[in-house]
Amino acid sequence: MHPTAARHIPADSLQGKVALITGGGSGMGQAAAMLLAQCGARVGVLDCDSAGMTQTVTAITATGGQAMELPADVSDPASLTAALEQLEQAWGRLDIVFANAGTNGLWAPVEDIMPEEWDLTQNVNLRGTFLTVRTSIPLLKRSGGGSVIINASGTGTRMFSAFGSSAYATSKAGQLAFGRITALEMARHRIRVNTICPGSIATALNQKTRTRNLDTLPKSPQYPEGSIPLTNGQNGKPEQVAHLVWFLASDLSDYITGTEIYIDGAQSQLMG
Amino acid sequence: MNPPVDSLSGKVALITGAGSGLGEAAARVLAGSGARVAVVDRSAAEAVRVAEAINGNGGVAMALTADVTKPDELAAAVAEVERHWQRLDIVCANAGINGTWAPVDELTPEEWDETLGVNLKGTFLTVRACTPLLKRGGGGSIIITSSGVGSRMFTQSGASAYAASKAAQVAFGHMTALELAKHKIRVNTICPGAFRSNIMSATRHRNTRDLRLPVTFPEGNVPLTGGRSGSAEQIARLIWYLASDLSDHISGTEIYIDGGQSLLMG
């Protein structure tokens, strides 16, 4: 366990609970999967990339934790349903859902984004969140409640100056609204829903961004001292996001639902 | 579940309005996690009561009497903290009043000033007084107690002064988060909904009975609990999280903690 986590997080704090983490094969999803497993949760690691998924599950089981590979694509309802069935069959319950799978998609001027490219981003980020939550609800209800954590972003909710990000930002804003509505709708079943909005985090997602014709857009603002005031510009770490996921997953946050939490070292206070 | 007993060991916290309600709960939770706690309240008796309870329970606390509207008293309190403990890591700008709830044309300028004086200026004065010591210690975490009223909820007719003070605290939290970031001081704002405390009974109501537009909540107005308000301890656990190094990348956010109340009530 990360030293900060070891000092603050009881190793049995999620004992008996079952977690589902989409996009659990890399980045924030992987860090969250490992931390929740270290706290005693059994973790379903769902990903469409089998190499990353295997890596996460191997790392968890090698240290005595319990995890299961759930190969699925969040934009494909049938594969999600199959994954949830596999999880229920093995562990019989579900308490924590981290709807984390996402794509940066294509960053380009609005008029240069093809409708299909727009759809791809919405399908993974927004529709994928809807499908993940939709598919998980019955089992969460049967388990007597739970905690859903949606991974949105500061982009599209507080920050709008990243030129070319219209498809991505729109999907992230949609997740925020979806989180609030579902928080209200599922409260009577004791299912909490909260949305986290990370700033720049050191993950591989950034390298996977496709871009087109960004040079035709205005130049983005420059930040000579970096854009993350709290860290002199250093990106946040996936482990820091995992700590927040743990807090929202745990009973320590049992009166919190329907909120967003920005985790960005004040980046969204500096960037417009 | 309670936060681990040594998770804040070595740290020093100052909490205003710690003689009752949420402030008292925060003092107990932070002390229970190993922090040394300065229990600041304008009532000496209440501050002493809370500090003695903590000390009697194996924690470390000190009672300090100060009115958050008085810069001199706050400066003296912070000086005491420095003299005893030489550092400060956590500040809960929590002292607040409901003040007078009345139709806006009947609210006197003095009543407005009283509410804004404690809730808003008191927050500014608390942060202002604590910042130098936080800086000298290499950083820290400031937690501002605002409310869902004024930021997401606006149906508490008559509470215009209170709501304005609470909305302004959110803006103040955003501004100071950015301004203090380079000193590694984090600033976050919590927005509780209804929870069990005596601040509601301390509200002075005048002619608010017919002010409110009728709304009914057939299933109660706290969706997560079937209408039951939360407890101060639940909110104190959020304060613990924001005070701890677990949240070391979080600054400049609001967090609503209300069982979904602010999404149901306009």
Q: Across chain A, where does the E strand assignment appear?
A: 18-22, 42-47, 66-71, 96-99, 106-107, 146-151, 191-198, 210-211, 260-263
CA-wise closest residue to B62 among B44, B70, B71, B75: B44
User: Is the CB of residue A155 less than 8 Å from the CB of residue A205?
Assistant: no
Q: CATH classification of A12-270 is 3.50.50.60, yes or no?
A: no
Q: Closest partner residue to B249 among A252, A255, A265, by Cβ?
A: A265
- Determine the pLDDT at residue A74: 98
The percentage of residues in chain A with a pLDDT greater than 70, rounded to a whole number, is: 99
Q: What type of residue sits at position A212? A: R
Q: Residue B260 falls within a domain, yes or no?
A: yes
- Determine the pLDDT at residue A240: 98
Q: What is the ipTM for the molecules in this complex?
A: 0.93
Q: Residue B7 falls within a domain, yes or no?
A: no
The percentage of residues in chain A with a pLDDT greater than 90, rounded to a whole number, is: 92
Q: Which residue of B has its CA nearest to A147?
A: B224
Q: Residue B137 falls within a domain, yes or no?
A: yes
User: Is the CB of residue A193 less than 8 Å from the CB of residue A178?
Assistant: no
Confidence of residue A187 (pLDDT cuts 50, 70, 90): very high
Q: Residue B193 falls within a domain, yes or no?
A: yes
Q: Which residue of A has its CA nearest to B191?
A: A259
User: Is the CB of residue B66 less than 8 Å from the CB of residue B77?
Assistant: yes
Q: How far apart are CA B126 and CA B145, in angstroms?
A: 12
- Whose structure tokens read 């005693």? A40
- Determine the pLDDT at residue A87: 98
**Residue burial A185-197, b: 16+ Cβ < 10 Å; e: rest:** ebbebbbbbbbbb
CA–chain centroid gap for B135, Å, is 21
Q: Closest partner residue to B249 among A5, A230, A269, by Cβ?
A: A230
Tally of domains within chain B: 1
Distance from A204 to chain B by nearest Cα, in Å? 19
**Residues facing B15 on adjacent strands:** B39, B92
pLDDT digits (tens, 9 = 90+) for B116-138: 999 999 999 999 999 999 999 99
Q: Residue B6 falls within a domain, yes or no?
A: no
CA distance from start to end of chain B: 32
Q: What type of residue sits at position A31? A: A
pLDDT digits (tens, 9 = 90+) for A71-121: 999 999 999 999 999 999 999 999 999 999 999 999 999 999 999 999 999
Question: Which residues in chain A are contacts of B177 at CB distance < 8 A?
Answer: 266, 269
Distance from A79 to chain B by nearest Cα, in Å? 31
Q: Residue B48 falls within a domain, yes or no?
A: yes
Q: Residue B61 falls within a domain, yes or no?
A: yes
We report the CATH number of the domain holding residue B210 as: 3.40.50.720
Question: Does the pLDDT of residue A178 top 80, yes or no?
Answer: yes
Which pTM value belongs to this model? Answer: 0.95
Query: Strands B60-65, B90-93: parallel, antiparallel or unpaired by DSSP?
Result: unpaired
Lowest-pLDDT range, A58-62, B15-19, B140-144, B203-207?
Answer: B203-207
Question: Does the pLDDT of residue A206 top 80, yes or no?
Answer: no
Cβ contact (<8 Å) for A262 and B253?
Answer: yes
Q: Residue B203 falls within a domain, yes or no?
A: yes
pLDDT digits (tens, 9 = 90+) for A18-36: 999 999 999 999 999 999 9
Question: Which residues in chain A are contacts of B231 at CB distance < 8 A?
Answer: 255
Q: Which residue of B has its CA nearest to A183?
A: B260
Cβ contact (<8 Å) for A263 and B250?
Answer: yes
pLDDT digits (tens, 9 = 90+) for B151-196: 999 988 899 999 999 999 999 999 999 999 999 999 999 999 988 8
CA atoms within 13 A on the CB side of B79: 7
Question: Does the pLDDT of residue A236 top 80, yes or no?
Answer: yes
Active site residue B229: no
- Determine the pLDDT at residue B237: 98
The whole domain housing B53 covers 12-264
